[in-house]
Amino acid sequence: MENIKEIYGSLVFGDKVMQERLPKDVYKAVRETAQNGTHLSLDVANTVAAAMKEWALEKGATHFTHWFQPMTGLTAEKHDSFIYPSGSGEMLLEFSGKELVKGEPDASSFPSGGLRATFEARGYTAWDPSSPAFIKDGTLYIPTAFCSYGGEALDKKTPLLRSMDALSESAVKVLGLLGKKEVKRVNTTIGSEQEYFLIDKEKYLKRKDLVMCGRTLIGAAAPKGQEMADHYFGVLKPKVADFMHELDKELWNLGVPVKTKHNEVAPGQHELAPVFETANVAVDHNQLTMEIMKKVADRCGYACLLHEKPFDGINGSGKHNNWSISTNTGENLLDPGKSPQDNKQFLVFLMAVIAAVDDYADLLRLSVATAGNDHRLGANEAPPAVISVFVGDELAAVLKSIEEGTKYDGGSAAKMSWAHVLPHIMQDTTDRNRTSPFAFTGNKFEFRMPGSSLSVAQPNIALNTAVAEELDRIYEKLKGVAEDKLDAAIDDLLKEMLKDHKKIIFNGNGYSDEWLEEAEKRGLYNLKAVPDAMPELLSEKNRNLFKKHEVLSDVELESRYEIFLENYNKEIHIESLTLQEMIRKDFTQGLVAYMKDVTSEALKKKELLPGISVSYESDIINILDETSEMIGNRIHQLRDDTERAEKIEDVLEAAKYYHDVILSDMDGLRECVDKAEKIIPDAYLPYPTYGQLLFSLR
């Protein structure tokens, strides 16, 4: 087995490589740019490019690409070789600082939401020195931002970087008031837990719905699902373990700090979790993780499914966004310490986050709103669509004491009563709450609503900007207070903020109907689906937030509104067409063949044995005949309604129609097909069933 220390980051032009290959002053300039966002001169870029090229060539690279994240939710790349003709029939290997810093990809075919006309093709990519370059498949990948000819952000990296700067600026000001004047930068850190399904590749390729849509549009439940809870943390099957090992190695080579892997709840479902990284790098690494998962799965004979709900009646997949904030001096600002009740700095930042989630719950909800995630949220397998904050028993008691103006003496950790031979373990002061959308888990918050296929840039753009705004409000209220009166002023401010925002705090069962009723009484948002959530993006409150912190302009927000809704409509439209084709061309073939064979056998039976009962066969024929007629009616209805949807020009009106009408049509049609599929033997169906898909791994 390879030495982990030797392979980790071996394909990354990271800090160690830069220290070895760059002059000290150039290395210092690059580090300053990466850490504090200072401008990088062309001379420095030229030196870095020369060193990067030589390193890449030594690693076998022949090309370079500016790697960016357009609004498709995926990544994009255009490869150029290092080769330049020399004029004497030979060639040179060149890579300049200009090529490193700037690229000009054709932007005409990427989603822009009306930011530019189709004929306005020019776009720009700009090197992001805060995320290291790496080599993959013989190409040097340079992480970049992507903008239009007019400078508007056409990607997810640009607003993420802006939101990180906004949070840092606001947090540094507050820390200055609290006496931490040495802090120059505050970084958002993320650890993204990635859930996914593995199924047999050959079976995957026989399912049009999985290939086209990422989820099954028909399929009767298998006799066994996840009800035995025997897959969660279960023993890894040998081939799955081999896949995970190969995945670890590829990601470690690329410097992705993946740490934890295990079986998840549903059959065929698994999870991979990394160590925390700076938000920008973590987002890049999560995009890489999803890509490498699919590549390694294909090599191992699997298909990797990242859709939020690939199987009906089976738990879907999410991507828990573990979020924290740390200073450039190495201090975690969400670490409560041993006495959180006395830790004024922690309480200030804790309340800033709680207030942000309360004031901008609509923004956080729409940041994770996708067609796939709508199937998952609120289904007793994931958080409800109502956002609340879980703080745990100890912090709840601390906050209560602040509200009531009483002294909190602190709780004492209990010793766990185990067998005598086992080590003494102290009980945590709070339990985990897996039903909470936004939970405090020790020294970080876990935002549990993002879907498994989502770029985590989106929720972190919203979260960073909202927290920056609350920190600004805190700063404005404390900035003129004398030092000897600061503690008292903080106490008063915390009490005031808690009174205003305690409605968002909930430590109970987020799955219960009682909570939804209570949430409505508290006035909390319940934005159940994309068409409900997306209009909030253009509210005056949210426009002002992004504009003030220079994260997204009005036109950039409006473009995202158009893109998100267009993507939603297109996704459901494709699902509708796929479902119709799959039933007409695939399912009907099996249905007719089985009905024909059962009828034939019944007639033969009556011929051979006159007077014998064929009630069993008759029951099958009657059920399938009745179901067949319902399928015919409903598929015609879906076809007609889909044609109507195609003619709706307004994206929000279309989204509502797709949600209210098309999805309802699809559900009704599926119900009929699944009823028939339960009777039809597997051999008659030209596609794999749920049982074959979910229990085929070895």
The boundaries of the domain holding residue 654 are: 568-694
594-610 tens-digit pLDDT: 999 999 988 888 777 77
Q: Do 486 and 605 have their domain in common?
A: no
Q: 3-state SS string over 325-354? A: EEECCCCECCCCCCCHHHCHHHHHHHHHHH
Q: Do 125 and 170 have their domain in common?
A: no
265 CB-contact burial (10 Å; exposed 0-12 / middle 13-18 / buried 19+): middle
Question: How many CA within 13 A on the CB side of residue 435?
Answer: 13
625-677 tens-digit pLDDT: 999 999 999 999 999 999 999 999 999 999 999 999 999 999 999 999 999 99
Q: Do 518 and 617 have their domain in common?
A: no
Kindly report the CATH number assigned to the domain that includes residue 650: 1.20.120.1560
Question: How many CA within 13 A on the CB side of residue 686?
Answer: 14
Of 31 and 504, more confident: 504
Q: Of 381, 556, 356, 551, which Cα lies nearest the Cα of 451?
A: 381
Residue 119 has pLDDT above 80, yes or no: no
Domain assignment present for residue 553? The answer is no
Q: Of 280, 278, 12, which Cα lies nearest the Cα of 132?
A: 12
Q: Which residues of 168-187 are buried (b: 16+ CB within 10 A; e: fewer)?
A: bebbbbbbebeebeebebbb
Query: What is the average pLDDT score of the chain?
Result: 91
Domain assignment present for residue 418? The answer is no
Report the pLDDT value the prediction gives residue 162, as an integer from 0 to 100.
96
Report the pLDDT value the prediction gives residue 19, as an integer from 0 to 100.
94
Report the pLDDT value the prediction gives residue 428, as an integer from 0 to 100.
58
Question: Cα separation of 327 and 633, whole Å?
Answer: 62
Q: CB of 438 within 8 A of CB of 445? A: yes
Report the pLDDT value the prediction gives residue 304, as an integer from 0 to 100.
98
Name beta bridge partners: 528: none
Question: Cα separation of 389 and 355, whole Å?
Answer: 10
Q: What is the mean pLDDT of residues 4-24?
A: 93
Angle between helices 540-548 and 554-582 (to 10 degrees): 120
418-449 tens-digit pLDDT: 666 766 665 555 556 678 999 999 899 999 99
Report the pLDDT value the prediction gives residue 402, as an integer from 0 to 100.
87
Phi, psi of 275 (to 5 degrees): -80, 155
Q: What is the mean pLDDT of residues 482-503?
A: 94
Query: In the numeric block, which tokens belong to residue 24?
Result: 């000290």
Phi-psi region of 337 (alpha: psi -120 to 50; beta: other; left: phi over 0): left
Report the pLDDT value the prediction gives residue 418, as an integer from 0 to 100.
62
CB atoms within 10 A of CB 650: 10
Q: What is the mean pLDDT of residues 111-135?
A: 79
Residue 370 has pLDDT above 80, yes or no: yes
Provide the number of structural domains found in the chain: 4
Residue 319 has pLDDT above 60, yes or no: yes
Domain assignment present for residue 146? The answer is yes
* Model pTM score: 0.94
Q: Which of 270, 286, 318 is the last residue of a domain?
A: 318
3-state secondary structure of 116: coil
Phi-psi region of 113 (alpha: psi -120 to 50; beta: other; left: phi over 0): left
How large is the greatest C-alpha to C-alpha distance in the chain, in angstroms?
104
Question: Cα separation of 33 and 26, whole Å?
Answer: 11
Kindly report the CATH number assigned to the domain that includes residue 136: 3.10.20.70
Q: Do 247 and 358 have their domain in common?
A: no
Strand 139-148 versus strand 63-67 pairing type: parallel
Report the pLDDT value the prediction gives residue 63, as an integer from 0 to 100.
95
Query: In the numeric block, which tokens belong to residue 416?
Result: 């766990």
**pLDDT category, 193, cuts 50, 70, 90?**
very high
Report the pLDDT value the prediction gives residue 647, as an integer from 0 to 100.
97
Domain assignment present for residue 554? The answer is no
Domain assignment present for residue 190? The answer is no
Question: Cα separation of 314 and 302, whole Å?
Answer: 19
**pLDDT category, 615, cuts 50, 70, 90?**
confident
Q: Which amino acid, one-letter code, is at 80?
A: D
Q: Do 237 and 267 have their domain in common?
A: yes
Q: Which of 526, 557, 586 is the last residue of a domain?
A: 526
Domain assignment present for residue 336? The answer is yes
Kindly report the CATH number assigned to the domain that includes residue 208: 3.30.590.10
Question: Cα separation of 597 and 624, whole Å?
Answer: 13
Report the pLDDT value the prediction gives residue 341, as an integer from 0 to 100.
81
Q: Do 150 and 165 have their domain in common?
A: no
Of 427 and 570, more confident: 570
332 CB-contact burial (10 Å; exposed 0-12 / middle 13-18 / buried 19+): middle
Q: Do 300 and 449 have their domain in common?
A: no
3-state secondary structure of 220: coil
Q: Do 300 and 439 have their domain in common?
A: no
Q: Do 479 and 339 have their domain in common?
A: yes
Report the pLDDT value the prediction gives residue 411, as an integer from 0 to 100.
61
| C-alpha to C-alpha distances, 94 to 79, 103, 213, nearest whole angstrom | 14, 15, 42
**pLDDT category, 5, cuts 50, 70, 90?**
confident
Q: Do 348 and 488 have their domain in common?
A: yes
Q: Which of 291, 318, 345 is the last residue of a domain?
A: 318
Report the pLDDT value the prediction gives residue 83, as an integer from 0 to 100.
86
140-168 tens-digit pLDDT: 999 999 988 788 898 999 999 999 999 99
**pLDDT category, 228, cuts 50, 70, 90?**
confident
Name beta bridge partners: 153: 147
Domain assignment present for residue 343? The answer is yes
Query: In the numeric block, which tokens belong to residue 106?
Result: 């054709």
Report the pLDDT value the prediction gives residue 95, as an integer from 0 to 100.
86
- The H or E element that residue 635 is part of is helix 615-646
Q: Do 142 and 281 have their domain in common?
A: no
257-268 tens-digit pLDDT: 999 999 998 999
| C-alpha to C-alpha distances, 576 to 569, 655, 656, 665, nearest whole angstrom | 11, 14, 15, 9
Q: Of 317, 291, 369, 416, which Cα lies nearest the Cα of 563?
A: 369
Q: Do 53 and 168 have their domain in common?
A: no
R_g (Cα) of the chain, nearest Å: 28
Residue 108 has pLDDT above 80, yes or no: no
Question: Cα separation of 664 and 213, whole Å?
Answer: 17
Report the pLDDT value the prediction gives residue 233, as an integer from 0 to 100.
85
Report the pLDDT value the prediction gives residue 223, as an integer from 0 to 100.
85
32-46, 176-190, 410-424, 486-500: the lowest-pLDDT one: 410-424
Report the pLDDT value the prediction gives residue 225, as an integer from 0 to 100.
81
Domain assignment present for residue 165? The answer is yes
